[in-house]
């Protein structure tokens, strides 16, 4: 990279670090802010220069479509279904029911979690908004059948054939599924009526 100026080196490093943390490439405005660059036009000029010299590829018709031309190790995680963050949703997280017109996988850096069976769920609703999980965000799940108080889980409610994303609490022989939004109330259920399917280990936010 001896032919690059310091600004271009910083941009490349920022893009790589951002991808490793979030699993997606940054926007031009995020690069501007993260690299302390005066304007987005300066960022765009340097990205075009980096692309011309073979350091990255960037599609102008798609946002967050910057790909570095280096070997960044990644892993594909299946998006198996939607999950409700609001009223429970009639989807069983055991089965791949995600059939929207989109890629059924999300590509993440392989250092996000040293687990072989991670999967992803697309959030529908806003009951976890105070935990910074919004509608259409994607949560990365680790398969689990038990949880500690305060952990965020995917819960299958077999009596209603519904699933929901909530914080788990167990007190007075009852399971509380607690939202992170004051507009919603907790669900209090008999333990036999709640099946834990996984715990949240990461979030990919829609921007």
Spatial contact of 31 and 1, defined as CB atoms under 8 Å apart: no
With cut-offs at 50, 70 and 90, classify the pLDDT of residue 154: very high
Show the beta-strand stretches assigned E in the chain.
56-58, 66-68, 74-84, 105-109, 119-124, 138-143, 152-157, 162-171, 174-178, 187-189, 195-204
With cut-offs at 50, 70 and 90, classify the pLDDT of residue 151: very high
Res 70: pLDDT: 66
Least confident of 78-87, 117-126, 141-150, 157-166: 78-87
| Mean pLDDT within 130-147 | 90
- Tell me if domain 6-68 and domain 74-204 are identical in fold: no
Beta bridge partners of 3: none
Res 96: pLDDT: 47
112/162: higher pLDDT: 162
**Which positions are annotated as active-site residues?**
127, 166
> Average pLDDT over the chain, rounded to whole?
82
Res 115: pLDDT: 64
| Mean pLDDT within 60-65 | 74
Q: Is the pLDDT of residue 160 over 60?
A: yes
Spatial contact of 121 and 80, defined as CB atoms under 8 Å apart: yes
Res 100: pLDDT: 43
Res 91: pLDDT: 52
Res 5: pLDDT: 86
- How do 174-178 and 187-189 pair as beta strands? antiparallel
| Mean pLDDT within 194-202 | 91
Rounded (10°) CA dihedral 115, 72, 136, 30? 130
Distance CA 108, CA 112 (A): 7
| Mean pLDDT within 140-149 | 92
- Topology annotation, domain 6-68: Arc Repressor Mutant, subunit A (1.10.10)
Distance CA 196, CA 109 (A): 26
- Domain segments of the chain as ranges: 6-68, 74-204
Q: Is the pLDDT of residue 39 over 80?
A: yes
Spatial contact of 153 and 199, defined as CB atoms under 8 Å apart: yes
The matching CATH number, chosen from 1.10.150.240, 2.40.440.10, 3.40.50.2300, 2.10.109.10, for 74-204 is 2.10.109.10
- Within 8 A by CB and 6+ apart from 112, the residues are 23, 75, 118, 140, 201, 202
């Amino acid at each position: 990279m001896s032919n690059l100026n310091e600004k271009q080196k910083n941009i490349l490093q920022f893009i790589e670090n951002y991808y490793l943390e979030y699993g997606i490439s940054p926007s031009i405005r995020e690069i501007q802010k993260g690299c302390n660059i005066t304007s987005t036009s300066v960022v765009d000029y340097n990205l075009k220069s980096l692309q011309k010299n073979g350091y990255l590829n960037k599609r102008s018709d798609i946002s967050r479509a910057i790909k570095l031309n280096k070997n960044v190790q990644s892993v594909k995680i299946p998006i198996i279904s939607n999950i409700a963050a609001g009223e429970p949703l009639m989807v069983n997280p055991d089965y791949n029911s995600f059939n929207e017109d989109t890629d059924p996988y999300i590509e993440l850096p392989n250092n996000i979690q040293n687990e072989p069976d991670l999967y992803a769920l697309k959030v529908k609703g806003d009951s976890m908004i105070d935990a910074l999980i919004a509608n259409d965000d994607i949560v990365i799940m680790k398969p689990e059948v038990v949880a500690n108080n305060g952990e965020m889980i995917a819960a299958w409610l077999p009596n209603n054939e519904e699933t929901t994303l909530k914080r788990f609490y167990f007190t007075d022989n009852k399971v509380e599924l607690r939202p992170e939004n004051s507009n919603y109330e907790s669900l209090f259920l008999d333990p036999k009526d709640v099946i834990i399917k996984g715990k949240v280990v990461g979030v990919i936010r829609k921007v």
